[in-house]
Structure 1
Amino acid sequence: MKVELTRFRIKKGKETKAQEWMDFLNSHHEDTVATMVGERMYVENVFKEKNPDGYTYFYWYSLQGEGGQKVEESESYIDKKHLEYWDECIDESYHPVDMDLEENLIAPIIDKVIQKK
């Protein structure tokens, strides 16, 4: 199982578009969650930080099984739109910061469900 937390920077001037992106995913919640099955994604959360450096950052947290489909390989309209927003909003000149996992606690009842998949 893969547990990740990564910090991405939003391009200057794309903050409103980035919020539109999150609003799109939230307003299409059922279809967005449906894409998780093929990715073997169990949990995916996005947090937003408006930093004093003047940039907005998104923090992606995920809990994913091994061998899932990559979002880039998906035919889902959700994933295609997600990648469009990504290309427009994520600042590729900024190296994403992968946080180091120091502790991973998953309740046994949840772990059993994940391991059965």
Structure 2
Amino acid sequence: MTKVELTRFRIRKGKEAKAQEWMDFLNEHHADTVATMAGEKMYVESVFKEEDPDGYTYFYWYSVQGEDGNAVEESESYIDKRHLEYWDECIDMEYKPVDMELEEDLIAPAVEKVIESDA
């Protein structure tokens, strides 16, 4: 069974540049970042950025993942360790993350077949 999620996180005021550094780090280390996904049973992970009129920056995390993947907190990868450092510094924990409610989930049969074969 696949899990599809979209969650909105707020960036701490004053940490917008650090949050952009975070995304740049992940993009600059794309191959190593993608390599961490297998153990997590993460098939798709995308991050979107929104800057609202009140001066807050939000990251929206979209993912398609399988069950029983390894938690990022348990990873020994330098990517995941750095990712968690950025997370701790940038994500505003006083703001309750918003989990969007999934209304429709369309995954092409060929993609679903690959996901199921990995389960």
**TM-score, normalization by structure 2:** 0.98
State the Cα deviation string for residues 43-100 of structure 1 (Å, max 9, x = none): 0000000011210000000000000000000000000000000000000000000000
Q: Among the aligned pairs, what percent are the same residue?
A: 78
Q: How far apart, CA to CA, are the structure 2 residues paired with 1:97 and 1:114? A: 26
The answer to whether residue 50 in structure 2 is matched with residue 43 in structure 1 is no
Q: How far apart, CA to CA, are the structure 2 residues paired with 1:69 and 1:81? A: 17
Q: How does 1:6-17 map to 2 (within 5 A)?
A: 6-17=7-18
Provide the secondary structure at the position in 1 that maps to 2:49: strand
Q: How far apart, CA to CA, are the structure 2 residues paired with 1:38 and 1:110? A: 18
Give runs of ≥4 in structure 1 deviating > 6 Å.
Answer: none
Unpaired segments ≥5 residues, structure 2: none
Unpaired segments ≥5 residues, structure 1: none
**TM-score, normalization by structure 1:** 0.99
Aligned length, in residue pairs = 117
Q: How does 1:25-64 map to 2 (within 5 A)?
A: 25-64=26-65
